[in-house]
């Protein structure tokens, strides 16, 4: 018998990559009549399953999932697009008397919802974007990010320097709107009543889980997955290929590195990513209730929220 949450609450599960958010979300959803809304920017893309550690077909058959496999790998999805589409999904779930369980570690998605961001409404300007991409390739992503910092220091502070796609998007909005990107991203009262669950784990154990996950990816056919994408015309220039591991495997397929080299680089970048996630989801954030992972974690969450 599903357990009803009081009111029309929205659960959001955050935590570092590989901590076990998917498994906890599925177990929660089965008990409270929930549906899962992905807040992972890499899950949007079709055909990118193994390297993103996307929920398996079996897992997605257990409960209804949303915001997964809705874009081709060469599509660019802005924060605004995700925000708009997933907001409608959440409203629809609530209208049917179900509980939305938003799951994912993409920090900007989390902040946009929980802080009520008003996002830039400007659509993509493809000619300008192409020029900015060409400029970025010529001067390098660090230098392009420095240019953004000169125009809009606040935007540069929350966009990682190596994320050229988001740097380009910020510059695109600035040049088309005549306003700073950071000024257009204002905060309002959040539209939903979020209960935020944070999952945590000893860092050493988490890194061991990461290593095991990466090893399993190769056993499941990660190299073949990337080769299949390349064969379909999705190469390094696709925005989706910035996901950890995909460009590294591309370099292997091009003979530029070894599989051991790919594995080492994936582990290094994933550890970096976990440290960056800690800046988005802080242990002292009073809006997040943290739970140490364990066999009874779902029971502990339900005790607090139901």
Asked if the model's pLDDT at residue 3 lies above 70, the reply is no
What tokens does 219 get? 């056993």
- Out of 2.120.10.30, 3.40.605.10, 3.90.1150.10, 3.40.50.300, which CATH number does the structure's domain 10-119+187-201+282-305 have? 3.40.50.300
Predicted model pTM: 0.82
The pLDDT tens digits of the residues spanning 262-292 come to 999 999 999 999 998 888 898 888 899 999 9
Q: What is the DSSP string of 83-114?
A: HHHHHHHHHHHHHTT-EEEEE---HHHHHHHH
Q: What is the pLDDT at residue 79?
A: 82
Terminal-residue alpha carbon distance, the chain:
13
pLDDT band at 1 (very low <50, low <70, confident <90, very high): very low
What angle is formed at CA 291 by the lines to CA 286 and CA 297, rounded to 5 degrees?
A: 145
Nearest to 21 by CA among 221, 276, 206: 206
Does CATH place domain 126-184 in 1.10.20.140? Answer: yes
Stretch 200-224: mean pLDDT: 97
Stretch 174-200: mean pLDDT: 82
CA distance 196 to 216: 30
Contact 206, 18 (CB under 8 A): yes
20: region left, alpha or beta (phi > 0 left; psi from -120 to 50 alpha) = left
H helices present in 140-163, as ranges: 141-151, 153-158
CB atoms within 10 A of CB 279: 9
CA distance 28 to 86: 20
Q: Domain segments of the chain: what residues?
A: 10-119+187-201+282-305, 126-184, 203-278
pLDDT band at 6 (very low <50, low <70, confident <90, very high): very low
Asked if the model's pLDDT at residue 109 lies above 80, the reply is yes
Stretch 219-227: mean pLDDT: 98
CB atoms within 10 A of CB 107: 17
pLDDT band at 120 (very low <50, low <70, confident <90, very high): low
Strand partners for 37: 66, 102
Element (H, E) at 264: helix 259-280
The domain made up of 203-278 has a fold known as Helix Hairpins (1.10.287)
CA distance 60 to 100: 15
Stretch 168-184: mean pLDDT: 82
Name the more confident of 141 and 202.
Answer: 202
Phi, psi of 98 (to 5 degrees): -100, 165
């Amino acid at each position: 018998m599903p357990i009803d949450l009081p009111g029309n609450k929205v659960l959001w599960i955050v935590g570092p990559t590989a901590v076990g958010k998917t498994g906890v979300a599925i177990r929660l959803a089965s008990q409270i009549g929930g549906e899962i809304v992905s807040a992972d920017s890499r899950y949007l893309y079709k055909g990118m399953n193994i390297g993103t550690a996307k929920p398996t077909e079996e897992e997605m058959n257990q409960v209804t999932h949303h915001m997964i496999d809705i874009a081709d790998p060469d599509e660019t999805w802005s924060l605004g697009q995700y925000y708009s589409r997933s907001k409608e999904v959440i409203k629809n779930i609530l209208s049917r008397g179900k509980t939305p369980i938003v799951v994912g570690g993409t920090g900007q998605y989390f902040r946009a919802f929980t802080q009520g961001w008003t996002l830039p409404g400007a659509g993509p300007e493809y000619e300008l974007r192409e020029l900015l991409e060409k400029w970025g390739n010529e001067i390098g992503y660090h230098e392009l990010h420095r240019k953004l910092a000169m125009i809009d220091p606040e935007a540069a502070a929350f966009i990682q320097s190596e994320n050229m796609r988001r740097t380009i998007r910020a510059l695109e909005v600035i040049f088309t709107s005549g306003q700073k990107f950071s000024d257009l991203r204002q905060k309002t009262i959040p539209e939903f009543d979020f209960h935020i669950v944070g999952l945590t784990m000893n860092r050493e154990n988490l890194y061991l889980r990461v290593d095991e996950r990466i090893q399993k990816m190769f056993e499941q056919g990660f190299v073949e997955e990337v080769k299949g994408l390349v064969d379909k015309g999705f190469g390094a220039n696709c925005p989706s290929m910035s996901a950890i591991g995909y460009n590294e495997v591309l370099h292997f397929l091009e003979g530029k590195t070894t599989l051991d080299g790919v594995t080492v680089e994936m582990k290094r970048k994933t550890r970096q990513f976990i440290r960056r996630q800690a800046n988005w989801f802080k242990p002292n954030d009073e809006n997040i209730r943290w739970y140490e992972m364990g066999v009874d974690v779902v029971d502990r969450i339900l005790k607090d929220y139901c």
